[in-house]
Amino acid sequence: MDKLQKPIYRLPNSKGYYGEFGGMYVPEILIPALEELSDAFEKYRKDDKFLTELEYYQTEYNCRPTPITFADRLTEFYGKAKIYLKREDLNHTGAHKINNALGQILLAKKLKKERIIAETGAGQHGVAVATVCAKFNLQCEVYMGEVDYERQLPNVLRMQMLGAKVHKVTSGTKTLKDATNEAIRDWVTNVNNTHYIIGSVVGPHPYPLIVREFQSIIGKETKKQILRAENRMPNYIVACVGGGSNAIGIFYPFINTNVQLIGIEAAGKGVDTPYHCSSLNYGRVGIFQGMKTYLLQDENGQVIEPYSISAGLDYPGVGPEHSHLKEIQRVKYFSVTDQEALNAAYLLSKTEGILPALESAHALAYLQYLMPQTLKNEIVVVNLSGRGDKDLQTYIKNFQGEK
């Protein structure tokens, strides 16, 4: 009798669920727009002309494929497995966010939308959306929490130079959650002529699917590149997780393999304090911003204010596919603190001459726990989701001198 084969992972289902997570929890007015978007995506993801156009812009405008870099000095520092970095920091605009922005702007043009809105935390998604709107001559408005607006001012200025109107959100925690709420309110009001480019694998169906598919270019390239470099698959892939787009982008093409996948959340000032955003490890299942997923909530089901030194991880929930991957134990999720992320950023800068985004530094920080468990003949790939120019003020403020 033939050996039973492990089921191939194919999600979401037709209702937009990853196991029990996902769905489309939105006001009735948005259902037609979401269905229109879903139908367009299903059509154009199989359309050779659309895919050729997207490939052209990913290559000639976004500078893909991004390389994988063997971090020889960082490898020497730990003295264990080989460490490779997937260099999403080398994308146009400096992060992985533009992979999805390019795909969605082409969809928006097919849908004949005249206006684009977006939310942003660290500013990288906002910059990516402002960039593609400038390139394709569409009106752009970006919502950004006041706290993030101040700590990511260079990205605010970049968006404004690119022609975008940046709305400073002063409600709630004044961070990504509240920026998203305001963007949704705008979309409800202007749904007929406006496309909302969500930047992560969050929100109502079909957004988690669309963003995953456009970001999976990261993992597809990584698989080809590591086979070319090492003639075998990596043993581990590590990525930071806020909403979770860079992580799902590199994880997804490896889900049906034996590669160990590790997602790193922000522990902030410590998970034993109220100041963290480790929703997968310390949250509970709930409904939030159009989806069913893991959330940071109090005993009454009210969303708890998240905290992270990194604006891009400062979100109280996570993409529904990550919640499912946690439940089925396909991906292991851990968290690291602000200080551990800062230390990892300084270490990479000093050993490899690469200044990472604070988000990416969380993935790098987990190496201090992972590397002692590895063997010298093993391979670790870390997704370097963005570069650290936007975080210079934070790095300078926290730098304690020679490390």
Tens digit of each residue's pLDDT (9 = 90 or more) over 288-345: 999 999 999 998 999 998 999 998 898 999 999 999 999 999 999 999 999 999 999 9
Identify the band that residue 57 occupies on the pLDDT scale cut at 50, 70 and 90. Answer: very high
Instruction: Check pLDDT > 80 for residue 187.
Output: yes
pLDDT band at 173 (very low <50, low <70, confident <90, very high): confident
Banded model confidence at residue 8, pLDDT cuts 50, 70, 90: confident
Which segments of the chain belong to CATH 3.40.50.1100?
18-59+97-211, 65-94+216-398
Could you confirm whether domain 18-59+97-211 is CATH 3.40.50.1100? yes
pLDDT bin (cut points 50, 70, 90) of residue 1 is very low
Is the pLDDT at 4 greater than 50? The verdict is no
pLDDT at 152 over 90: no
Place 2 in a pLDDT band, splitting at 50, 70 and 90: very low
What residues have CB less than 8 Å from 323, skipping those under 6 apart? 18, 19, 21, 280, 285, 293, 294
8 A C-beta contact, residue 324 and residue 333: no
Please state the rounded mean pLDDT for residues 56-71: 98
Average per-residue pLDDT for the chain: 95
Instruction: Give the pLDDT band of residue 6 (cuts 50, 70, 90).
Output: low
Active site amino acids:
97, 119, 385
Q: Is it the case that residue 402 has pLDDT exceeding 60? A: no
For residue 3, pLDDT beyond 80: no
The pLDDT of residue 348 is 98
pLDDT-derived band at 385 (thresholds 50, 70, 90) equals: very high
Window from 37-41, 208-212, 303-307, 343-347 with minimum mean pLDDT: 303-307
Alpha carbon distances (Å) from 376 to 84, 105, 231, 336, 393: 13, 44, 16, 24, 37
Architecture of domain 65-94+216-398: 3-Layer(aba) Sandwich (3.40)
pLDDT at 176: 86
